[in-house]
Amino acid sequence: MQLTAPKFDEAEIEMLRTCLSSGWVTQGPMSQKFEQLIAERHGVKHALVTTSCTAALHLATMALDLKAGDEVVVPAFTWITSAHCAEYVGARAVFADIDLATYNLDPAAFETAITPRTRAVVAVHLFGLAAPLDDIRAIASRRGIAIIEDAACAIGTTYDGKPVGGLGDIGCFSFHPRKIVTTGEGGAVTTNDDTIAKAVGSLRNHGASAAHVPDDEAVGPWTMSAYNQIGYNLRLSDIQAAVGVAQMSKLDGLLAERRWVADGYRERLSDRNDIVLPAVDPGHSYQSFVIRIAEGGRQRRNALMVSLAKRSIQTRPGTHAVPALGYYRTKYGLCPQHFPNAMIAEDTSITLPIFPGMTASDLDLVAETLDRALAAT
């Protein structure tokens, strides 16, 4: 059983056919439609699609004009690009520990990590559960710290009934195949700030801005853009956006299927006191269903994953304790034990299969295999 799988049907094929028939396969109507659908769903003024969430995070740090000497607070348990986006622009990623109950940033640890050089915080909505944005905003706003929502896992996620992605200064989404909505590879930046949106729109398109027209030259279809800053080619193609448009039409159904799977796991595993299930929250989109082993540490966790693999059930650890990774540990002389919750999460978490089309029999197989493996270790 695979860990995850996208759900495609004739809707994606038809959108691709429409796109290819139009002859407009990049920076065209499909990209605009996809952006409109994302903006409407997440209640923001602007959505700008990109090649990946990594690109979106990079664009976010550039749009905020972060640079050498600046610091960005990042949860110590997350995917690596939550931290890399600071390093890309010469700033420093400063880690703060997580709340083990949610795997998200601990507001108290965030506040402790702040220095006079802190310019931004990356609030990761890990595995589809919103970070504690009220507490994060209260801390950040007092100090003029920008909030980047890393919503890579969080299309369709809500916080207190409000969609994520427009609750900070900038939101960054992923459409990787493991995400709920996928375009193969792809991402998006969301914001309610016109200045940020303008900067992202330019930076993703080589640094292009308003048309450059000399005083003695007429404006026409030959008119070229001005390039007053360095930029990048981080645009999503219309071919990929066409898949995204079809996927967005299914979002509510995709979310419902994932929540059904999550409820099924809870029903089958809730009587076990040796595992910790994901936090219950009505806004959780369950991009991943991550459990934690209560006792036994990394060795026992790995043994359980081996037992599941023997039944052809794919699993993964939740994600990384980033301060323990070579680049950050070496560059900043970090001691991973200074982030105890992140280390516990890395050593004891297991991502169970979750994808559209899973059946009750699939859930039975995973739960029964896990039960037997727990009893045997």
Active-site residue list: 179
Taking the C-alpha atoms of residue 192 and residue 190, their distance in angstroms, rounded to an integer, is: 7
Alpha helices, DSSP H only, in the chain? 10-22, 29-42, 53-63, 81-88, 107-113, 133-143, 194-203, 238-248, 251-269, 297-310, 326-332, 340-348, 360-376
C-alpha 113: how far from its chain's center?
22
- In contact, 230 and 88? CB cutoff 8 Å: no
CB atoms within 10 A of CB 14: 12
Characterize 267-277 residue by residue with b for buried, 16 or more Cβ atoms within 10 angstroms of its Cβ, and e for exposed: ebbeebeebbe
SS3 37: helix
Nearest residue to 285 (alpha-carbon basis) of 140, 157, 102, 179: 157
Taking the C-alpha atoms of residue 242 and residue 21, their distance in angstroms, rounded to an integer, is: 12
Taking the C-alpha atoms of residue 344 and residue 6, their distance in angstroms, rounded to an integer, is: 30
- In contact, 59 and 188? CB cutoff 8 Å: no
> 108: Cβ–Cβ under 8 A, 6 or more apart, which residues?
none
Taking the C-alpha atoms of residue 255 and residue 91, their distance in angstroms, rounded to an integer, is: 36
Taking the C-alpha atoms of residue 58 and residue 55, their distance in angstroms, rounded to an integer, is: 5
- In contact, 258 and 356? CB cutoff 8 Å: yes
CA 348 to each of CA 163, 203, 269, 320, 368: distance values in angstroms, whole numbers, following the listed order? 30, 40, 16, 11, 19
SS3 56: helix
Both ends of the chain: CA-CA distance in Å? Answer: 22
AA identity, residue 25: V
